[in-house]
Amino acid sequence: MNVLVWMKRDLRVADHPALTHAARLGRVLPLYILEPDYWRLPDTSARQWDFTAESLEGLRAELAALGVTLALRSGDAVDVLERMCRRHAITRIVSHEETGNLWTFARDRRVAAWARATGVEWTEVPQSGVLRPLASRDGWQARRDGFMAAPVLPVPQMQPVEGVEPGPIPSARAIRLAEDRCPHRQRGGRAEGLRLLDSFLTTRGEPYRAAMSSPLTGERACSRLSPHIALGTLSLREVVQATTARQAERPPGWGGSLSSFQSRLAWRDHFMQKLEDQPDIETRCLSRLAEGLRPRETDSARLQAWASGQTGLPFVDACMRYLAATGWLNFRMRAMVMAVASYQLWLDWRATGPILARLFTDYEPGIHWPQVQMQSGVTGINTPRIYNPVKQGLDQDPTGAFTRRWLPELASVPDSFLQQPWLWPGFRNLSGRRYPEPVVDPASAARAARDAVWSLRREVGAGQEAGRIAARHASRSPRRAALPRRAQAQLSLDL
């Protein structure tokens, strides 16, 4: 029997349940489908494709070493699968369950309908702690932990389907993606992911718990594994078990950091399960009362200023410029830039969320959309956290090194005025390119936002709705013990 393995966000051969299952059934044909319509979506970008293409190159080399060809085809998934099944006499398709955005959810439903109509058997296999279907969260944590504790699957021995043309792995320009300069983007591929995992667990990760909040220290102290987990060059189970093995060594000074990292890995599956259970949280507020909180017609000037790092709020602008250049941002700063957009700038999360999604090389819908809603105060169950960007700059960049690096136009501003340069007497006489005055007064804008959010929550029925949402989501979340209290309230799974 010839079996097609449809590879999506699982670009590896080790600990690959779908590939292992297919190898037991017959000859294997691994396939990646480049779907042009997906790459035209507002939450996808060239930096994400570049990382994916590098990961595909690595995967192709790994499979070639095993005597198996990775096929890459471009087009609509149903059309491509139909052609491949007809050409290579395939009646079985195996893939991992995917918790993606609404577009991939709809695509998978179309593929399922096609498979039923044509008699092709499509088997979807779990690859993480996300469970499908899930009638109740009761027992979810134990089942997730059981999956993570199960043995890591070895690379399977495979017999290839003969006569498969590999097909080229095109560049972002070749598939006509918009130019997306990201000079400091992380590189894709399993080899790079393994290198990061090793360096994090042996050297870089010791100060993780204390260092992850600042963009200065988080760049090195964070694992930087998030894009590799999102694209599946590493399995989450591999990362969990490697961390567990390191914990067993009891390295002096590492206990808190390793425990915090394990908790974040568990929280990752928790948020992924939220999107699996409720796919429309990409487009609808978890709290129905919050739908009218902000105007749906976007203030385009504010949106552009925020996206380009020109709000006049230095630490926010430095973080947005850093993100544009690197494709990554540490957890607290992700929360801050989203919260400032939603509160001080009063922009709807459905306008800002796709912009951040495009900028994140590690974009994972199941993490992104629950976090975007949480930081915008529209869940009905989380206490609104309105960041003070001036205070964050003073706390997280006390020397101004990060801010000055990404805002060179403020190089001459004294330290005491750097996070509020509009108060400096010499602000209007800055040499070179002018830095904008703030688009809003951050203090008064925060007060207005706080008043609006709490006014909404005091409306008749708000309390009952919060209880309903909390009963559905919050009471069955994973263990919190290893997370700092503030991190529990503002979690952002950049790892």
Judge if the upstream peptide bond of residue 133 is cis by omega within 30 degrees of 0: yes
The CB density around residue 292, as the number of other CB atoms within 10 Å, is 10
**Residue 433 main-chain phi, psi, to 5 deg:** -65, 130
Quote the tokens at residue 7.
């590879």
**Annotation-wise, does 51 bind a ligand?**
no
Query: Tokens 């009638």 map to which residue?
Result: 135
3-state secondary structure of 76: coil
Quote the tokens at residue 357.
């999604």
Radius of gyration of the chain (CA): 23
**Residue 376 main-chain phi, psi, to 5 deg:** -105, 0
Closest CA to 28 of 200, 177, 158: 158
Which residues touch 390 (CB under 8 Å, ≥6 apart)? 313, 315, 419, 420, 442
3-state secondary structure of 473: coil
**Annotation-wise, does 208 bind a ligand?**
yes
Task: Measure Cα distances from 46 to 49, 77, 179, 187 in Å.
Answer: 5, 20, 7, 13
Handedness of CA 420, 422, 423, 428 (dihedral sign): positive
Question: What is the C-alpha separation between 143 and 124, in angstroms, rounded?
Answer: 18
Spatial strand order in the sheet of 27-34: 71-74, 27-34, 2-7, 90-96, 121-125
The three state secondary structure string of 174-222 is CCCCCCCCCCCCCCCCHHHHHHHHHHHHHHHCCCHHHHCCCHHHHHHHC
Question: What is the C-alpha separation between 493 and 495, in angstroms, rounded?
Answer: 5
Quote the tokens at residue 259.
């425990």
- 220-236 exposure pattern, b = at least 16 Cβ within 10 A, e = fewer: ebbbbbbbbbbbbbbbb
Indicate the annotated binding residues for FAD: 208, 261
Indicate the annotated binding residues: 208, 261
